[in-house]
Amino acid sequence: MEKKELTPLEKELKELIEKYKPAKVYTLTVPLEDDEDSKVATFYLKWCDRKTEEMMEKHARTSRERAVIMGITALRLGGDDVSILSNNEFASRAAEFGLAQHMKPAKAELKKN
pLDDT of residue 29: 93
Distance between CA atoms of residues 27 and 8, nearest Å: 14
Rg (CA), the chain: 16
Q: Is the Cα dihedral 12, 14, 15, 19 positive or negative?
A: positive
Indicate the pLDDT class of residue 79, thresholds 50, 70 and 90: very high
Average pLDDT over the chain, rounded to an integer = 87
pTM of the predicted model over 0.85: no
CATH 1.20.1280 fits 8-103, yes or no: no
pLDDT of residue 1: 55
Residue range 48-68, pLDDT digits in tens: 888 998 999 998 899 988 999
DSSP class of 3: P
Whether 46 contacts 63, CB under 8 Å:
no
pLDDT of residue 2: 63
Residue range 4-37, pLDDT digits in tens: 787 888 888 888 888 888 888 999 999 998 887 7
